[in-house]
Structure 1
Amino acid sequence: MNHLKERPLVVQSNFKVLLYTSSPYFEEVRDQLSYFLELQKSPNVFYTYALNEISLWNGFSHGWTAQRIKALFTKFSRYGVSEKVIEFIEKQYYYQNMFSIIKYTSEELELIAREKKAFANLDLHRKTLHYLRQDETSGRYFIPMHARGIFKSEMIHLGYPVNDQVGFEDGQPLEINYNHSQYPLRGYQDQAVKSFVNKTKDAIIAGAGIILLPCGSGKTIVGIAIMAELGMSTLIITPNVISLRQWRKEIIEKTNIRDEEIGEYSGEVKEIRSITLTTYQILTTRREREAEFHHLNLFNRKSWGFIVYDEIHMLPAKVFRFITSVQAKRRLGLTATLVREDGREKEVFSLIGPKKFDYSWKELEKLNFIARVKCFEVKVTMPPDLENNYFSFQYATNKFRMASENPYKFVITQKLVKLFSRFQILIIGQYLTQLEEISKMLKAPLLVGKTNYTTRQRIYQEFNDKKIRVLVVSKIANFAVDLPNAEVAIQLSGTFGSRQEEAQRLGRIIRPKSGVANNAYFFTLTTLYSREEFLAQNRKGFLMAQGYTYTNLLEFDLSKDILVEELIGETSNTTQTEETT
C-alpha cells in the first residue's frame, strides 16, 4: 500500500470514521469495521461510522483488542490517527471487565476489581449505585443477589460493563433431541450454536449472549439446536402469535418434543409447560394504564433454565426491568440487527449479553443460502397541489407523512407490478388509507393488524401457493412472516428513518429462490426533495453496512426499455426455472 490515496480510512478526532468506497481496500476494511464501529451514513462516496462505547464493547467481546484496532487504523488511515481517539479506545479496553461479580453467599454477590484503585471511582457514584454496600471491617463490596441485573445496568451507564461470573441456574431438565440426520445444520448455524454453548470453556461464563443472522437464514433452527444442547425447560418470547406458532411447528418437526409438551401463553390460551411460547405483546398487556403487568410473572412461574428472546431488537422497554430479575437464567437473543431506534443497546448488552456470533449477509448470499437482493430507491415527484401544501407546513412530522402518502407513488407501484408481471410481489406500507387505496387499484388482498389469524394464514398460504401474485401488507409483515416465494418488495412508506424496519422488510424477500438466478428485488419509494427522502438515508444505513447498494432511479427511468432488461432480463428466476424444466 504505497499510495496514501489508496488508503480508505479517515479517522477523525470527533470519533467519526470515514471509509471511502473508491479504495481497492474498501470491502476488506468494511468487513472488519462492522465488528467495532456503528455505521451512521452510507452515501456513494464514503461511509460514515461512529466509534462509541457499545460498538467497542461488542468488538472486544468478539476478540478484538485495543492494539488490533489501532493496528488496523494505522495501516489503512490516510492521515494518521489522533491521540484522542487512541486514548478512547485504550480507555474502553481498560474498562472492559474492570469489574466482575462473583457469588459470595446464597443471598449476596461480591464485586471484585482488576485493580483496587478502581473502587475509588465507584465511591464517587454511590448515589447512583443503589444496591452497592461496602463492608466496614473488610472493605469489600457486596450486592444483594436480587439486584444482580439492576447493578449491571447501573454500572454500564457509568461506562463499566461488568463481567458476570455468578453462573446460572439449570432449571428443570428436559430431554430434547435435535434430528441432525434429517435436518443437518449448515456450517454457519453449527458455528453459531458452538459460540453459545462452548464446551471448551468454563460453563460458568457460557450461556448468555446474542446471535445475529440475516432474516431467512434459520435463526429459529439455531435456537432449537441450542435448546437441545442445554436440555432445560425453556421460555421462548416471540414478536407475535404467528411467530409463536412457527416456533412450535419447527420444534415439533425437528426434535423429539411432542405437541402436548409445548405450552402457548397468548391472548387465547394460558398454558405453561416444559417449553412455553409467549409474545412480547401479551407480557406487556395490562387491564388499565396504571395497573401492573401481571403477565410478566410468567418469568417466575416455572423453574426455567433457558430463556430465548426472539427478535431481541424488538424487546419492549417495559420488559427491561423484569429481565434484571432473571439474570440467573441462561438467555439467548436472536436478531438480524442490534439496531434499536430507542438507543437502549447498552441495556441489551448488559442484561442479555454481548454478541456471540454474527455472519455477513453478503457471505450467505455468495453461498446461495439467501437470495441476491437488488435494492432500488425510486425518487417520486410531488403533484403541484401537494408540493404547495408541503412547503406551507412548519412541522417535520406533518411533512414526512404528506411525502410518504404522495399519490404519485400509486402510479409507480402499478408500473412496477406490471414490470414484474411473473413475480410474487409484496407491497408494504405504514398508512392504512394508502394501503387500502393501492389494494383497491390492484385488486390485491390487504392484511393489516386487525385481520384475524385464520384469515392471515389462509392468504399467506395462497400467496405461497402462487394463487395470489400481489399481496398488500401493513407493518405486521415487518417480522415473523414466512413467505419464501416472495421475490419483489415495494415499500410505499415506513417509520421515519428506521434502519431496523428497512432491514426487516428486505428480509421478507431474502429467502433463497428456486432456479439458477436466486434474485430478489427491493424497491423503496421516496418523495423527491422531501423529509422522507432525507430520512431514507438513515433507513438504508444498516443494509449498506452489510454490503447492499441502492440504485437511485427517477420515476421516468421505469419507462426505459434498457432498464427493464437490466432489472429482469435473463436473470429472472422465473425465466431460469422455465428453461430448466
Structure 2
Amino acid sequence: MTNDEPDPEEPLGDSDSGTSSADDANPGPDNGKENREELLYDTLEELGRPVVTAVRYAQENETNQSDATAALDALVEDGIAERLDVSADPVVWYPSDWARMTDRERVVVFPERRELVVDQPTQLTRAQLSQFAHLVDTTGSGAYKYEIRQEDIWQAPYETFGDLQDTVHDVLPERYPHLEEWLESQYRRANRFTLRTHEDGYVVLEAATDDLMGNVARQKLEEGQLRATISETESWVAEEHVAAVKRTLYDAGYPVRDERDLDSGNELPVELNLELRAYQEDWRSNFMENRSGVLVGPPGSGKTVTALGILAAVEGETLVLVPGRELAGQWREEILAHTSLTDEEVGEYHGGEKNVRPVTIATYRTAGMDRHRQLFDTREWGLIIYDEVHHISAPIYRQSTDLQTQHRLGLSSSPVREDDREKDIYTLIGPPIGTDWDSLFDAGYVAEPEVEIRYVPWDSPEVQNEYVSSHGHDRRQRAASNPAKIQEIKQLLSRNPEEQALVFVEYLDQGRAYADALDVPFISGEMPHARREKFFEQFRTGIVSTLVVSRVGDEGIDLPSAQLAIVASGLGGSRRQGTQRAGRTMRPTGRARMYVLATRGTREEEFARQQMRHLSSKGVRVTERSGEAFDMSETPREEHQS
C-alpha cells in the first residue's frame, strides 16, 4: 500500500447515517448501465490511474467504503469492470475494456523522483507542463515523460509561488505535500544571492544569510573572484569575474539576481514606428522591470519587433549580436523600417563590412575575436541583443557575454541544446519571457503548426541492403538520402500546389539530387551570399514556389510566404533544429504545416521524434503515420500521436 493512500480498513463513513448510499456511487438499474460505466471512467480519469480501490472510489464519489465496494461489485456483474486481489495492496477494480482508457488523459506522478508520465495529454496540459517541467521523452503510443528540475522552477514565469502552485494543481491529479515543499524551496532559492553596485562603484555580492555567504559563496568561488569581505553577508566581487561568479553559484544551486547599476552608455533617442500587440507590450514591460531576459515566444510571434520596442524604451547605444551575415542585413532593414534611426546611426560589423555606429549589428564570431574585442569593450552599451541566443554556450560566442551593458536581451524560439547547457543562457543573459505559446495559438496571433512525422519505406531491397552493410556516418547518410523520399516529397507538393514550400536537407549531395528531381533551386552555404539572397527574394515575391535548403536556412532567414516545410533529413535528434524549421512556416495568418520524413527501421525514426520534442512540450500536436506515397488509401490513416 502506498503512503499517500488511506488505510483500506479504515471506515470512511457510517452506512446507517443516511448521508450517502450505494446509489450515490452506483446508479441503480433505472439509471442505466451506461451511467454506471461512465461514472467508473470519470473516476479513473480524475485519479489519473487505470485501477481503483474501494477507498479511492469512495473518496472521489463522496460515499463510504462499504457502499463503494457494493457499487464496484455491481460493475463487475454488469461486465463493465473486473476485480483483482493483489498481495501488496487491497482489492483493485479496473475496466474490462482497457481500450476505453487509451483516449483519456492520465497523469501519473512519481513525487519522490519528481517525474510525471502523462498519457494522451491535451494541448492545454502540455502547455501548462512546459511552464514548470522538462519534457524528457515521448513514445509513439502517446505517452510523455516529464521531469521537474531545479532550473525549471527557478525559471518558471510566475510572480509568486502561489501562481506557480495554481498551475501545478491544475495539472496534477492530487496534492503531493512533499513535492510542493520542494517546489517552494526551489522557488525561494532563486532569490538568495544578489549582485548590486556599491555607492563607491564596485560590485557587491549579497547573500540572504551569513551561512549562505560563508558556506556556499566563499567555499565554492575560486581565489581572486571575491576581492574582500565587506560583512557577514556581503563580499566585494572582482568585476572581471562577475560572469564566472554567476555561473559557479548557479551550478551550486543558487541563481543570482543581477541588480547592478551598469553604465547606460550614450543616450540615443529612438521612436518606434509601429504599435506593439498587447502581449508584446507585456514582454517589453517584463523586460524593462528586470533589465534582462530571454524572449522565447514561438516563431512568428514578433520577438524582433518586441526587441525594437525595447531598444526604443532603453534609448541607449545598442549592440545586436547575430550568428551570420544574412541576419545582420535583415536586422538593419528592420531597424531602419520600424524606427526613427537613420542610415548613419546603424552599422554592421562582420566579414563583409566593419562600421561601428550608435546601433551596431555584429556577428558573434567577430565580436568574440581578440583583435576586434577592444572596439566593443571600449564602448558603453545601453543594450545588447543576443539573437538566436542558444549560440552563446559555444566558447568563442560566450566571450561576448562579458561585454558591459545595462540591459541584456536574448531572442530564441528554441533555447534548448542537446548538450543540456541551455541553463548557461539564463545564467548569463536573464530569465525567460513569453513562454506561454498556447495562449498565442488560441488567440490567433501565431499559426499553430500541423506537424506530422511520416515513415517512408526503402526505395528497393538493394538500397536497403547497402544501408545494412554500411556503418557510422555513411549509414546515417544512406538513411537520410533514401530515394523513396523524393517520391514522398513530390506527393506532398502535388497535394499543395498553391503553397510555397521549403524542403530541408542535411547533406549537399542529397540537396543537389532533390533539386534536380524537383527542378527547383538548392540553397546551401557553398552558394555565394548575393546569389542566395537573390533566390530568397524570388521566393518572397512568389517567382519561385519551392526551395531545397541546407542547414543555412535553419535560422534567421525571413521567408514569411512559406506555408509548407518538408524535412527530408536533419541533424540527428536536434530539438532546436526541428523547432527552427517548423518556425519557417509559423505566421499570424494562413496554415502552417510541417512534414518530417524518416526511413522506416532506421534511427531516423528516433531522431524524428526527438526533433519534435520541444514543439510537443509547448503544446503543439505531433502525429505519426506511414508515408502517403505508399499508402493504399487516398487519405492516410493516422497511426498515433507522438
Q: Does the TM-score normalized on the shorter chain lie above 0.5?
A: yes
The 3 A distance-change label for structure 1 pair 410 and 113 is same
SS in structure 2 of the partner of residue 509 of structure 1: coil
Per the alignment, residue 575 of structure 1 pairs with: none
| CA displacement at 1:308 relative to structure 2 | 0.4
| CA displacement at 1:466 relative to structure 2 | 1.7
Partner Cα distance (1:4, 1:72) in 2: 21
List alignment gaps of at least 5 residues for structure 1: 199-205, 285-291, 567-581
| CA displacement at 1:72 relative to structure 2 | 5.0
Identity percentage of aligned residues: 28
Partner Cα distance (1:4, 1:244) in 2: 55
The 3 A distance-change label for structure 1 pair 444 and 482 is same
Per the alignment, residue 544 of structure 2 pairs with: 468
Query: Within 5 A, what are the aligned runs for 1:69-468?
Result: 69=164, 73=168, 76-78=171-173, 81=176, 83=178, 85-86=179-180, 88-104=182-198, 106=200, 108-122=202-216, 125-126=219-220, 128=222, 130-135=224-229, 140-179=234-273, 183-198=274-289, 206-284=290-368, 293-319=370-396, 321-360=398-437, 362-382=438-458, 383-393=460-470, 395=472, 397-468=473-544
Q: Is the 8 A contact 1:176 1:227 kept in 2?
A: yes
Aligned-partner residue type, residue 127 of structure 2? D
Query: Within 5 A, what are the aligned runs for 1:38-49?
Result: 38-43=134-139, 44-49=141-146
The 3 A distance-change label for structure 1 pair 140 and 68 is closer
Per the alignment, residue 536 of structure 1 pairs with: 608
Query: Within 5 A, what are the aligned runs for 1:1-80?
Result: 3-6=43-46, 7=48, 8-12=106-110, 13-21=112-120, 26-43=122-139, 44-59=141-156, 62-65=158-161, 69=164, 73=168, 76-78=171-173
SS in structure 2 of the partner of residue 305 of structure 1: strand
The 3 A distance-change label for structure 1 pair 316 and 163 is closer
SS in structure 1 of the partner of residue 340 of structure 2: coil
Aligned-partner residue type, residue 77 of structure 1? L
Partner Cα distance (2:201, 2:286) in 1: 31
The 3 A distance-change label for structure 1 pair 134 and 316 is closer
Partner Cα distance (1:18, 1:407) in 2: 38
SS in structure 2 of the partner of residue 308 of structure 1: strand
> TM-score, normalising length from structure 1?
0.85
Aligned-partner residue type, residue 110 of structure 1? V
SS in structure 2 of the partner of residue 337 of structure 1: coil
Q: Is the 8 A contact 2:131 2:435 kept in 1?
A: no
The 3 A distance-change label for structure 1 pair 483 and 558 is farther
Aligned-partner residue type, residue 307 of structure 1? I
Q: Is the 8 A contact 1:427 1:492 kept in 2?
A: yes
| CA displacement at 1:124 relative to structure 2 | 7.2
Partner Cα distance (1:51, 1:130) in 2: 35
The 3 A distance-change label for structure 1 pair 319 and 463 is same
| CA displacement at 1:505 relative to structure 2 | 0.3
Partner Cα distance (2:479, 2:43) in 1: 45
Aligned-partner residue type, residue 519 of structure 2? K
| CA displacement at 1:398 relative to structure 2 | 4.6
The 3 A distance-change label for structure 1 pair 452 and 103 is same
| CA displacement at 1:229 relative to structure 2 | 0.7
Partner Cα distance (1:221, 1:444) in 2: 32
List alignment gaps of at least 5 residues for structure 2: 1-38, 49-105
Partner Cα distance (1:553, 1:28) in 2: 23
| CA displacement at 1:76 relative to structure 2 | 4.6
Q: Is the 8 A contact 1:148 1:324 kept in 2?
A: no
Partner Cα distance (2:524, 2:303) in 1: 25
Aligned-partner residue type, residue 57 of structure 1? W
| CA displacement at 1:525 relative to structure 2 | 0.4
Aligned-partner residue type, residue 238 of structure 1? V
Partner Cα distance (1:81, 1:535) in 2: 35
Aligned-partner residue type, residue 359 of structure 2? I
| CA displacement at 1:127 relative to structure 2 | 6.0
Partner Cα distance (1:335, 1:464) in 2: 23
Partner Cα distance (2:292, 2:626) in 1: 47
| CA displacement at 1:140 relative to structure 2 | 4.8
Q: Is the 8 A contact 2:267 2:316 kept in 1?
A: yes
| CA displacement at 1:209 relative to structure 2 | 0.9
SS in structure 2 of the partner of residue 283 of structure 1: helix
Q: Deviations over 1:327-379 (max 9, x none)?
A: 5431100111221223222221121011133341x433333333343221110
Q: Is the 8 A contact 1:128 1:154 kept in 2?
A: no
| CA displacement at 1:17 relative to structure 2 | 1.6
SS in structure 1 of the partner of residue 219 of structure 2: coil
Per the alignment, residue 618 of structure 2 pairs with: 546
481, 489, 508: which one aligns with 2:565: 489
SS in structure 2 of the partner of residue 117 of structure 1: helix
Partner Cα distance (2:337, 2:621) in 1: 37
SS in structure 1 of the partner of residue 434 of structure 2: strand
SS in structure 2 of the partner of residue 489 of structure 1: strand
Per the alignment, residue 201 of structure 1 pairs with: none
Partner Cα distance (2:367, 2:553) in 1: 21
Greater relative contact order structure (CA < 8 Å, 6+ sep) = 1
> TM-score, normalising length from structure 2?
0.78
| CA displacement at 1:389 relative to structure 2 | 3.9
Partner Cα distance (1:77, 1:322) in 2: 42
Q: Deviations over 1:461-506 (max 9, x none)?
A: 2112222122111111111112121121111111111111011001
